[in-house]
Structure 1
Amino acid sequence: MTTSFVGRESELAAVKTALTRYRTVTLTGGGGVGKSRLALRAAEEVRERYADGVWWVDLSNLYDDRLFTATVCDAVDLLDHNPRAPVEALCEWLTGRDILLVFDCCERVLSSCHLLISELLAAAPKLTVLTTSRQPLEVKSEHRIEVSPLSTDDGDTGNGTADAVRLFRERCATAAPGVSLDAPGSAEVISDICHRLEGIPLAVELACARLRDTSLTEIAERLASRLDTLVDETVWPRRHRALRTAIGWSHELCSPLERLLWARLSVFRGPLEAADAEAVCAGGPLEADDIPPLLDRLVDRSVLQQTGTRYRMLDTLCEYGAMWLAELGEEDVLVRRHAAHFATVLSESEAGWLSDRQVSWYARISASHSDVRAALDHLIEVDPDAAVEMAGRTGLFWPCCGHLHESRDYLERALALDTPKGPSHTRALWALGITLTLQGDHRSALRIGEECAAAAHADGTPQSELFAAHTLGLTHLMAGRPQDAYDVCDHALIAHGTSPPSGAPQLCCMVIRVFAHSALGRLSEAYEAAIALRRLSVRYGEHWARSYAFHQLAFIDLLQGRANDAERHARAMLACKHNLNDNLGIALALDLLTGANAVQGNGIAAARTSGTGNTFWRMLGHPNHGTPELSEVRDEWELQARKAVGDDAYEKAFRNALNHDAEYSLALVMHGPLPS
């Protein structure tokens, strides 16, 4: 989101004051009027008031109330690993915290916002909520601030220049730096344009984007001629006529292929890559090779925003594109293409998991999260076989990145469909089994694991047998049955393992076997197996299994008094897990690094890593850490660290790390103190 800010001084002051008096403040107003930008600026300026931070919840990509609570959890970095309801986890996470939550675009899921925000406010007395919405939320004691268009008359501001005119000039300097706005008569024309656009910021920005190929006078004349020839007012209410005019005119002045791409892009739910647009939007007169330059032209016209290699469309412009997509009669075909494309993306990511592209595939799936969900929702409705196959493929990615509630929901919905048994069904059972285990629901996980094993036996494929062994092995290991974990995975690896390895499930079973060795006290075997696993992982360039090899090396190093080696291996694990965005793995690595620092007498470093680790465990819903078998030795590490530097110094470093933003504290741990 752009943070450029023109005008709004009085509104900004009103929002900041309201946040000191009310627990819920809602910014209302029409599309394109600048609610989100005002909320963002207000949140930035009051950040220091809130000891536990300001969190931004973007609801603009939501299309289903089912995903609402999960979206809020993701936004506040709450990746709860418990089977409890997400609302319960959110309430617990917020209780006692001094936080500002900003909900943007609440009109997408208005009733859900009302219910959740009401519940959160009751559970968390220190919580303050700022929302943007085209309609009030009707939350108890809600204070509403209407966000009006920018001033268009010079006399309405204290600086002698209307805010809409200031915005116009600023945007023109960016969109068309070669165009002079100082010619005789230009000021009057600019003022006239801003009047016709009623001071609506988005409308002004769209008009500015035309200055590269249209003169000021032509813009003013075209706007005047269009005000009486607008699109259907049942779709675009009369009070939005200026915005309709600006969007409609921008649409009209786009080339036919630009208009077609604009309409087709409306099917996406989140930021997209050029390759996504090529796969989904090409067809008919629109060739795939045409799409990259067309994307750039839509950026120039302010229809799209670009960040790095990804593109996104503002909600209001996306609505307009969707309207034209319906007019073209292409909705159904584009939704099918979209679902098929992201099913293919998941298939390719699974195939590329055991490779040097593994990290990039994790980033790809994470960045496409909203679209993967939308694709799955569509397939569950219309293509059960494809839904089961796609849902199973999320098992390598969603549980690792903390999306356990969504993983369970989609997998249970997919497995409830009437589909034939086979490898795809077995893989979906595996994905559900590991999700349940990571949530701590070991009884259900064991039941699903046994069902997966029976299905794998019926499939008769090595991959299915390895998937089944992994989910059963993980459940046994996490439930404190290391011998059972070892036996099931060792048997599967002997019977079905290959050299080179056949894919992800084989490495997953190898990880379980290493951990089981260690849990059984067979440290020499565990160390040797971990070294072999690390060597294998390095050969293929993958990071997931390698990170767990480093975990075991660090753990055994600590048990056997090699603190320097333990620190090196714990840092290597931390780097791998950070690359994968695996917060559970990050928390585990921080525990080991804390121990290595404490044993070496680095008390301040141990305090920092412990405080940072606590932050990540809280995000995961495990305030007492997720590895209870280390509780005794963890207490011993803390005593060593406190003895090395003194209680006061330890406590200060611990609290500083605990109270900082998680990523900031993690950066300090990984790279040392940041320059001041």
Structure 2
Amino acid sequence: MPDLLEPGPAGLVGRAAEETLLRDLLTSSRLVTVTGAAGVGKSRIAATVAAGLDDGPWRRIVPVRWQGRGLAEPGDLAAETVRALTGRRTCPRRVDVTRALRDLPGPDVLLFLDDADPVHTECVGLVQRLLMAVPEARVLVTSRRALGLGAERVLRLAPLDTGGPDSGGEGGVPPAVEMFMRLARAAVPGFRAEGADLRAVTDICRTLEGVPLAIELAAGQTVRHPVTELAGLLERHQCWLGSTGPVLRRHRSLREAVGAGYVLCERPVRVVWGRASIFEGSFSESTAAFLCAGGGVSPDQVPSCLARLVAAGVLRPLDDPGGVRRVRYRMSRAAREFGLERLAGSGEFPVAAERRVLHCRRVAEVAENLWGTGCQRQAVHLVRDELDDLAAMIRHALTEPDHAEAALRCLVDLWFWWVAYDNETEGRDHLLRLLPLCESGSPTAVRALWLAAWLTASADPRGARVLLGRAWPAAVLAGDNATIGRIAHVQGVVALCEYDAETAAEHFREAADTTPLHAPGGPSPAVSQASLAMVQATFAPRAARRSARRAMTHPGTRDDAWASLLARYAQAFLEHRRGHGGRARQRAHRALADLDPRLPAPHAAAGLNQLIADIETGTRGGLHLRTVPLPHRGVRMLDPVAGPATR
């Protein structure tokens, strides 16, 4: 197997690390291949380093460039190689390259086979024969994928770093931003970017994912567009980037650079590329098999097609293929845009969009089931992995009414993601845009109404009451106790938004008594019981202690980590109010220690952290309303004595 080398995080110190590593490889190895995705700079770095090695173990460099020649017939590479070695004008296809190399006055040459993708198969055989027959020969290859020979040393180039705590560059500027600024100054003398313009440049580089060719083409557009306008254009689409300057046709536009690899793929790989471009985020192998199979591509062909796309730099694996978790893939943005163009052109986009809806429905149902059966960490992991495609499916449903009902069901099934975590605004906006597209009296619409009311309560309590008023009659007529109980819970949230703690407590008590145990699709009665304890702590400490104990011992709490966290916050808050700071701090720390640091923290974590801060500073503090949870503007608290306060 070839020896694969990757110089750590891309752009850690620009391209200096890659150049140094390639220089070392060329002086110590007979076969070096530089690989990477389209536009990453393989040819440029290989040519620069090879030309700069005056003291290399070879007498001369013989370049054989296939750029712009397209697909080849068997023997074309051999003929072109002999022509470059001997200086002949023409050579027959049936020619002995090893003999031509031996006949040279000094066979110790560096053969530079640039852009070998169109002749990849012939290149493998030719290089293998050369290395075996001519011990003095050395070969440098640039290609999107490695040759796969045993003597091969592979340097895989990654895009430039676009920003982060370990970014290199001058003055801490990320290498991608540094490159854009340098090229923009060459295009527009005196170009400067500060403040909003500098943030726009950083956004441009991140949108282009640090691909040097894309950054070069984008920097050239500063002649026509201000960087803030250019950032918006590229956010919507980037394959339009182009220039008449580059000599090579495939470097004249981002679309042609990506398309140069597309035309070399076999038909099944092209089909999988196009269909997988429907994924806006990461996806698993099994999901790709579900969505990409059909039309001459069988499900068992999809994994090998994904592997080829990874080798070509179109896909990037996000996990270790040999790790515990199943590997997930993400398509580069330029490749995805190119694939979507092909998908739409083939007329397959509606089918792919329909399959994405089915996939998202399955994800939402599984996540909701996991949440309701005590596997809440797994549910959050699943939603986080699939969130980009869930959002894309919802956006598409706004323009495709036939998908609106399914999208609304997904939103409602994922109620915990919008409510328990910091995603209220996004969830509310999706719900309020989809609800008018769906049948008003359907069970899904009724569930969506109470969820939308919950997410609207803080910004617009009156609007939340209107939404609840629309949901209440349908729930009563249907005899749906689960929805009736959840409407009562949201009424408690609305009352709490208006700082009416006693009314809120009555509604939470009604919700805890009405909602059936283990009813899917919303907060459990244990959550309402814990919310009751928290609110009672502001005006009835003894009743709050009883409610907190009931919440902790509630049958649903055992399988509901969120309800348990709320109940533990209530207990800690009560201990703090009674003056037992040490005991309250200990309870709060234990509750926080049970949270998974790899997942976003639920709202109750903010209340626990604030409680610990109040204890350590000697502040009496109030109830952290965010814990209920309650969408908020700023950190709002309800003080048992002074009433509402804002920090």
> Do the structures match in fold with TM over 0.5?
yes
**Secondary structure of 1:596's match?**
helix
Percent identity, aligned pairs only, is: 24
Whole-Å separation in 2 of the counterparts to 1:630 and 1:578: 32
- In structure 1, the partner of 2:615 is 596
Structure 2 contact 525–556 (Cα < 8 Å) conserved: no
Return the letter of the residue paired with 2:483: S
1:276 aligns with 2:287: yes
Q: Do structure 1's residue 336 and structure 2's residue 354 form an aligned pair?
A: yes
Does residue 1:519 correspond to 2:538, yes or no? yes
SS of equivalent residue, structure 1 residue 419: coil
Candidates 475, 479, 496, aligned match of 2:494 = 475
For residues 449 and 504 of structure 1, the distance between their equivalents in structure 2, rounded to whole angstroms, comes to: 16
Alignment of 1:483-562 (within 5 A): 483-498=502-517, 504-521=523-540, 523-536=541-554, 540-562=558-580
Contact 2:508 2:531 in 1 (8 A): yes
Q: In structure 2, do the counterparts of structure 1 residues 498 and 505 end up closer, same or farther at CA, with 3 Å as the change threshold?
A: closer
Matches within 5 A, 1:315-354: 315-354=333-372
1:102 maps to 2:109: no
C-alpha distance in structure 1 between counterparts of 2:519 and 2:578, whole Å: 32
Deviations 1:551-604 (A, max 9, x none): 1011011112332331232224434566551464332221111133345xxxxx
Q: Tell me the TM-score normalized by structure 1.
A: 0.56
1:627 alignment counterpart: 637
The reply to whether residue 259 of structure 1 matches residue 263 of structure 2 is no
Query: Structure 1: which 5+ runs fail to align?
Result: 10-29, 57-93, 109-130, 145-197, 200-226, 228-237, 600-605, 607-612, 639-676
Provide the TM-score with structure 2 as the length reference.
0.59
Cα distance in 2, alignment partners of residues 436 and 566 from structure 1: 32
CA distance in structure 1 between the aligned counterparts of 2:606 and 2:288, rounded to whole angstroms: 37
Q: Match of 2:426, SS?
A: helix
The 2-side partners of 1:247 and 1:500 are apart by 50
**How far is the alpha carbon of 1:3 from its aligned partner?**
1.6
**Given the alignment, which residue of 362, 370, 373 partners 1:355?**
373
* Aligned pairs, number: 446
Shift of 1:514: 2.4
> Cα distance 1:631–1:276, how it changes in 2: closer, same or farther (>3 A)?
farther
What letter matches 1:266 in structure 2?
Answer: S
Report Cα offsets for 1:9-45 as digits up to 9, x if no partner.
7xxxxxxxxxxxxxxxxxxxx9836797264489923
* Counterpart residue number, 2:464: 445
Instruction: Decide whether the 8 Å contact of 2:289 with 2:302 is kept in 1.
Output: yes
- 8 Å contact from structure 2 (residues 376, 561) kept in 1: yes
2:318/2:329 contact within 8 Å kept: yes
Task: Say whether 1:45 aligns with 2:65.
Answer: no
Q: What is the CA-CA distance between 1:364 and the residue it aligns to?
A: 2.2
CA contact under 8 A between 1:537 and 1:545: conserved in structure 2? no
How far did 1:103 drift?
0.7
Residues 227-246 of structure 1: per-residue CA shift (max 9 Å, x gap): 9xxxxxxxxxx563597676
Paired residue type of 1:262? W
Classify 1:288/1:479 alpha carbon distance in 2 versus 1 (closer, same or farther; 3 Å).
Answer: farther
Name the structure 2 match of 1:411: 431
Q: 2:383 aligns with which of 365, 382, 388?
A: 365
Q: 1:105 to 1:400 in 2, by over 3 A?
A: farther
CA RMSD, 1 decimal: 4.6
* Structure 2 CA distance for partners of 1:239 and 1:621, relative to 1, 3 Å: farther
CA displacement 1:41-73 (0-9 Å, x = unmatched): 8992379779xx9999xxxxxxxxxxxxxxxxx
Q: Does 1:429 align with 2:449?
A: yes
Q: Say if 2:39 is the partner of 1:32.
A: yes
Change over 3 Å in CA distance of 1:306–1:46 after alignment to 2: same
Equivalent residues of 1:343, 1:375 under 8 A apart: no
Give a deviation string over 1:87-129, Cα, whole Å, max 9, x none: xxxxxxx99xx98982136889xxxxxxxxxxxxxxxxxxxxx
1:302 paired residue among 285, 307, 313:
313
Higher-helix-fraction structure: 1
For each residue in 1:477-522, what CA deviation from the matched residue of structure 2 results, as whole angstroms up to 9, or x when unmatched? 232223322323323443443379996343443333222332331x
Deviation at 1:339, TM superposition (A): 1.9
> Who is 1:382 aligned against?
401
Gaps of 5+ in 2: 1-7, 17-36, 42-157, 178-194, 209-216, 232-245, 320-326
Question: 1:511·1:548 contact (CA, 8 Å) conserved in 2?
Answer: yes
Q: 1:423 to 1:299 in 2, by over 3 A?
A: same
Contact 2:527-2:566 within 8 A present in 1 as well: no
Go from structure 1 to structure 2 and tell me whether the alpha carbon gap of 1:455 and 1:133 turns closer, same or farther (over 3 Å shift).
Answer: farther
2:330 aligned counterpart, secondary structure: strand
The verdict on how the C-alpha distance between 1:442 and 1:573 changes in structure 2, with shifts beyond 3 A counting, is: farther
DSSP-derived class of the 1:398 partner: helix
* In 2, Cα distance between equivalents of 1:528 and 1:628: 20
- 8 Å contact from structure 1 (residues 267, 334) kept in 2: yes
CA spacing shift, 1:448–1:499, aligned 2, 3 Å: closer
Question: Structure 1 CA distance, aligned partners of 2:199 and 2:441?
Answer: 48
1:630-670 CA-to-partner distances (Å, cap 9, x unmatched) read 897999xx9xxxxxxxxxxxxxxxxxxxxxxxxxxxxxxxx
Structure with higher Rg: it is 2
The answer for the alignment partner of 2:241 in structure 1 is: none
1-structure distance, mates of 2:270, 2:578 = 67
Q: Contact between 1:550 and 1:569, CA under 8 Å: does it hold in 2?
A: yes
